[in-house]
Structure 1
Amino acid sequence: MYCRRIYVAMMFVFFAASFTFGQSKADLINEYLSEGHKAGLFNGNVLVAEKGKIVTEAAVGYADALQKDTLTMAYRFHNGSISKEFDAVGIMMLAEQGKLQLSDKVSRFFPDLPAWAKKISIWNLLQYTSGLPEVQYGSVHGDADNWKDLKKVKALDFEPGTRYAYNNNNTFLRRMIIAKVAGKSFNDFVQQDILKQAGIKNGIVDPTQTDALIARSFDNNFKQDGLEVPISGWTCLDATDFYKWAECINHFRLISPASTKTILTPFKEGNQCGLGSGVIDGDTVKKHVHDGVAVHYQALEYVDNKNGIDRVIIILSNQRQGNVYKIAEAICNILDGMPFQKLE
């Protein structure tokens, strides 16, 4: 306890000294991230905004494992499970247009699937309560492989709507339903019906080796990961466009407050929902938090408006260290004029 008090006191001294030397909050955030990179604890891009204004944008480290190209804010990152927000929002857009209902069973769209498709509703897919098994990542190397596996499923793991099991077959079927109803590929739907409407110009779905300005993920030994994905439909954004996306959710620019509440409502407290997790009160998103991991990518979308501060923090890393929440906490402390702990 004594040592902790000394440490906290030192953090206060560091914080006070920083302002003594005229450092702004943006300077402190940028220095914090830079020091974290030097310590080998952060490589990626960060955007911080409050009340609709960007406080700072920071590109820190390398674009790939070769360590020749440094990151800029133009680089786009895989963001793992946060990409599931696009199919969740897409489902609600089509529901608002009267093209589907959340009570619709999967069999309505894909009658050739086994009998279990007559039991699973779109609502079950949104809440991860379908009972479907997980994607077989060892043998699935594309959508066609996954369709074959789904057609072989004879029995569900549990009765739909009775339990929660977070897995990507729920996501896969949401995307396939959108494609079926919209009459276009899910990738085209995202580009034309979501990103364009959101004013996002640089988003890309399922980038390949030939696409420019894609941050490549790598491990601590600088071994680079591939871009191959077992199932399609993963939307990659740069931090600026990610902020636009968060603001679309916050201000109901694509779907209504009621639809937003629907995909912010989990099966049970602590479970994931279509938008990750959050709180909505009337027409105000009070909290929206979603993290994602894909190989050595890690991302965090953090929105806090509980006290009217309208704070958005976007963290995109291509060298996963498991510390995005710690980084967000430090940034919040800096913004609030509180002591903060360096990455270690």
Structure 2
Amino acid sequence: MNTIITKIKFFVFTVALFTYGHFYGQTNNVETKLDSLFQKALESKTFNGNVLIAKKGKILYEKAFGQADASNTILLNKEYRFHIGSIAKEFNSVGIMMLKEQGKLKLDDPVSKFLPELPSWTNKIKIINLLQYTSGLPQIKWSEVNQDSDNMAFLLKTSELDFEPGTKYDYNNNNVFLQRRIIEKITKMSFNSFVIKKILKPIGIKNAVVDPDDKEPLFAKSYNSKGKQDILKYNISGWTALNLKDFYKWSEAINSFKIINSESTRQLFEPFSKDNQTGLGGGSIENGKVTSHIHDGAAFNYQALLISNPNFTIILMTNNKQNNLEEISNSIKSIVDK
């Protein structure tokens, strides 16, 4: 029944978008068009969250729509931070490349060089395998892992890999987990502190929080379509939450090579094979410029989407996942491009 209701809501929303497309042809006010789009999406319960749209480096639209949690009493505002799911994996991949540029590691280094306490299979896994999800590591046992130490204990007991490193692609959070542990080993800092002090603050991001709890102010709480709020839990640590402005600063820092250089960024965009995820999700560089950066993420009932190219940037974050951010972004493009 819930699936049917969701499909009906999405159908209504889609029909509305086509209707708006006709209406929008009659007006040139982009903000009015976007307001109408998101207000209708809010009313039809197909979007609850925050949005930022920039065009050629200038913020065109930045607004919040809906509720900050399941209580239906607290409204979101633009300062709220959201869990951005897998997009937070960008911080460990960028951290690895920062250390590479500092000469503290090489992408061809075996994991055993930094984590010798793990079994001998770490001799086969190179850091580039972690970045490209080709390590052969087994999947995290989410039902058994409640904290970092649990997952490390599981890896210590792992006798063999699922496949030979560098031969196959498997999108797997153990790759992320070991990247974060390597950063800790080299820097002698917790990964969470490294992100805040060495990555975010130097580029002017001051409001980000890593692994926020339920008591964190201005942090959106996720909930499902029945209005039930999720229990926030981090099976492995290191998940950065951002507000709109800071998310945009992060995107612009990637595009301008403010944190890592052009070559390091190109390497992070390079997949094992076509359409595979990379450390930055997906993207491309041409003539020394980022021509595309696309990454989506989800956790609990959070969902986020970043789309960036030289013409525009779209950032969508929701705490009531409806699995329709791509469709919404397409509607935004049709409005902004006119």
Query: Could you tell me how far apart the structure 2 residues matched to 1:16 and 1:332 are?
Result: 14
Question: By how many angstroms is 1:52 displaced?
Answer: 1.3
* Correspondences of 1:323-342 after superposition (within 5 Å): 323-337=324-338
1:209 aligned residue (186, 189, 214):
214
Aligned-partner Cα distance in 2 for 1:280–1:36: 34
Letter of the aligned partner of 2:337 in structure 1?
D
Output aligned runs, 1:1-344, within 5 Å. Answer: 12-17=21-26, 19=27, 24-305=29-310, 309=311, 311-337=312-338
Which segments of 5 or more consecutive residues in structure 1 lack a partner in the other structure? 1-5, 338-344
Question: Would the aligned equivalents of 1:178 and 1:186 in 2 still touch at CA under 8 Å?
Answer: yes
Structure 2 residue runs without a partner (length 5+): 1-14
State the one-letter code of the partner of 2:25. A
Identity between Structure 1 and Structure 2 (%): 48
What is the CA-CA distance between 1:116 and the residue it aligns to? 0.6
Report the alpha carbon displacement of residue 89 of structure 1 after superposing the two structures with TM: 0.4
Structure 1 consecutive aligned stretches of length 4 or more whose deviation exceeds 3 Å:
6-13
Alpha-carbon distance between aligned partners in 1 of 2:108 and 2:117, rounded to the nearest angstrom: 19
Equivalent residues, number: 324
Q: CA separation of 1:173/1:66 partners in 2, compared to 1, >3 Å: closer, same or farther?
A: same
Query: What is the CA–CA distance in structure 2 between the aligned matches of 1:263 and 1:324, rounded to whole Å?
Result: 24
Distance 1:97 1:35, change over 3 A: same
- Residues 329 and 74 of structure 1: CA distance in aligned 2, closer, same or farther (over 3 Å): same
Q: 1:13: how far off?
A: 3.2
Query: What is the rounded CA distance, in whole Å, between the counterparts of 1:215 and 1:11 in structure 2?
Result: 29
The answer on whether the counterparts of 2:81 and 2:242 sit within 8 Å (CA) in structure 1 is: yes
Answer yes or no: is the 8 Å Cα contact 2:93–2:179 preserved in 1. yes
Distance in 2 (CA, whole Å) between partners of 1:136 and 1:8 is 41
TM-fit CA distance, 1:210 = 2.0
Distance 1:181 1:24, change over 3 A: same
State the 1:283 CA deviation: 1.6
Secondary structure, in 3 states, of the residue corresponding to 1:263? Answer: helix
Tell me, in whole angstroms, the C-alpha distance in 1 between the residues paired with 2:17 and 2:218.
Answer: 40
| Separation in 1, partners of 2:126, 2:138 | 16
Contact 2:65–2:76 (Cα < 8 Å) also in 1: yes
The code of the aligned residue for 1:199 comes to: G
Structure 1 length-normalised TM: 0.92
Could you tell me how far 1:197 is from its partner in structure 2?
1.2
In the other structure, the counterpart of 1:340 is none
1:74 offset after TM fit, Å?
A: 0.6
* Change in 2 beyond 3 A, CA 1:8/1:124: closer
Counterpart CA distance in 1 for 2:191 and 2:302 is 23
